[in-house]
Structure 1
Amino acid sequence: MTTTISKFAHLQIPLKDVVLATDNFHHDNIIGRGGFGPIYKGLLLHSGNLIKIVALRLDRKHGQGDVEFWNEISMLSDLKHTNLVSTIGFCDEKGENIIITTYAAKGSLKEHLNNPNLTWIRLKICVSVARALSYLHYDERRGYRVIHLNINNSTILLD
């Protein structure tokens, strides 16, 4: 595990910064619940810039643990595509395991499906999702393929 931690040390974000960004994990900042646990929005001062973030806070009651957390960090830090959220970093401190990613400002596709103004934009969204899935499944520059298993209108995020 030490080798894994040192490999990703540059992505480490102190717990105090995540607590500050999410207003101490305030319930008003919960924007969803995922397979890892609650998902918070926040504002993080990172590399001198105030950025909107999402903090996925591991809840061990969901059956996830250290192995799943480090697998997720390893995979997410390796994935770079214009149609995927970017990993900013992680927190592994005081029993907390938190993954920090960029915030999708316009929420999920689910929130916009009934919008009548979403005519041609739907096609653009479909093409973008197809490109992201193609990258995850078929990019030969990685030694592995990603199978998401949960593509739906709630997990497709818009910016």
Structure 2
Amino acid sequence: MASAITEFAHLKIPFKDVEKATNNFNHDNIIGHGGFSTTYKGRLLQSEKLMKIAAQRFDCKHVEAELEFTREISVLTDLKHTNLISIVGFCDEEDEKIIVTMYEANGSVGQHLSNPNLTWTQRLRICLGVARALSYLHYSKGRDHAIIHCNINSDTILLDGNWEAKLSGFETSIKKSVRTKGQVCPCEPIGTIGYMDPAIETTGGVTHNSDIYSFGVVLFEMLCGRKAYVPNQAKSFLAPLAKYHYENKSLQDIMCPDLHCNRMSPKSLLKYTSIAYSCLNEDGANRQVRTILLMYLRKHWNFSCDLKVL
């Protein structure tokens, strides 16, 4: 990983510049927390242009923080896609390790799940953007490696000013040779509670299908207007609840009321929920989201007519 830092030395940003951009890491500028990092918004002057940025500052007291820092730089500097977060640069000075990315004006999907103003059409467009990002990560022609994200959730999916999805949170991602992409990558359970693939316990590791499971949970979050896991609440985990209601044809009982009350094509809803349910299949090999979602939705999702036909 150290070689990745050296290779992209031209992206280095002095600590004093990041400090100034975030107003000395002012508490009011905090926009997110990770396991070993805190993210701040700010305005960075670069090439005589003032840009809005997000500065992810890692807590270097933890060994894991440095690993996450180098891993994320390695991934972000290697990948380019319209539905992935864009790296601006990084700071690596003594005990300061910071990754600077473009600031996304509308925060994360997790902040808008219950937002009555986030329409069905917008939610579908966001989901399609994430699906495209996953397809690119899992396989891209001409690249000799594939990426397992390992932490797909509604807080790592950011939204730009046009409500387009920008996938972030690559601190725990794993690179794999394309030749072995279908094989299990042995590791301890990683991810966020409520989104982790239950198959990890039996296989002893993750696969690209683990990302598909997590994405399926996000699809149901978007439909139900609630987080995947709500502590200290009855039926706190959304995934088993959604599967139960899907199988019993009673999803309307847990759908976001604002979506349920507004005009929504029954055919659109049926296709969407069948895709989301397939993502949660206990057998990872049967999680067909990349095949089903991208091929079907590109053909049938007509945003110009409010997705009357899905």
How does the TM-score come out when normalised to structure 1?
A: 0.91
Q: Residue 46 of structure 1 aligns with which residue? A: 46
CA distance in 1 between counterparts of 2:4 and 2:113 reads 41
CA deviation after TM superposition for structure 1 residue 63, in Å? 4.1
Contact 2:30 2:41 in 1 (8 A): yes
CA distance in 2 between counterparts of 1:93 and 1:123 reads 42
**CA offsets, 1:85-116, max 9 Å, x none?**
10000000132010111111000112222222
1:82 aligned partner, one-letter code = T
CA distance in 2 between counterparts of 1:108 and 1:39 reads 13
Q: Residue 58 of structure 2 aligns with which residue? A: 58
1:97 aligned partner, one-letter code = K
Indicate whether 1:154 and 2:188 are aligned.
no
Q: Residue 133 of structure 1 aligns with which residue? A: 134
Q: Residue 113 of structure 1 aligns with which residue? A: 113
Pairs aligned (count): 159
Q: Residue 37 of structure 1 aligns with which residue? A: 37
**CA offsets, 1:41-85, max 9 Å, x none?**
111011221111111111134542444422321211111110111
CA distance in 2 between counterparts of 1:3 and 1:116 reads 47
> Larger RCO: Structure 1 or Structure 2 (Cα < 8 Å, ≥ 6 residues apart)?
1
Distance 1:96 1:113, change over 3 A: same
Q: Residue 75 of structure 1 aligns with which residue? A: 75
CA distance in 1 between counterparts of 2:68 and 2:102 reads 20
CA distance in 1 between counterparts of 2:137 and 2:44 reads 28
Q: Residue 228 of structure 2 aligns with which residue? A: none
CA distance in 2 between counterparts of 1:14 and 1:130 reads 35
CA distance in 2 between counterparts of 1:95 and 1:25 reads 15
1:93 aligned partner, one-letter code = E
Unaligned runs of 5+ in 1: none
How does the TM-score come out when normalised to structure 2?
A: 0.48
Q: Residue 145 of structure 1 aligns with which residue? A: 146
Indicate whether 1:11 and 2:11 are aligned.
yes
Q: Residue 21 of structure 2 aligns with which residue? A: 21
CA distance in 1 between counterparts of 2:61 and 2:32 reads 16
SS of structure 1 residue aligned to 2:24: coil
Q: Which has the larger radius of gyration?
A: 2
SS of structure 2 residue aligned to 1:145: strand
Percent identity over the alignment is 61
Q: Residue 101 of structure 1 aligns with which residue? A: 101
CA deviation after TM superposition for structure 1 residue 5, in Å? 3.9
Q: Residue 85 of structure 1 aligns with which residue? A: 85
1:86 aligned partner, one-letter code = S
Of 78-87 and 110-119, more deviation after overlay is shown by 110-119
CA distance in 2 between counterparts of 1:38 and 1:18 reads 14
Distance 1:147 1:3, change over 3 A: closer
Aligned CA RMSD, in angstroms, stands at 1.8
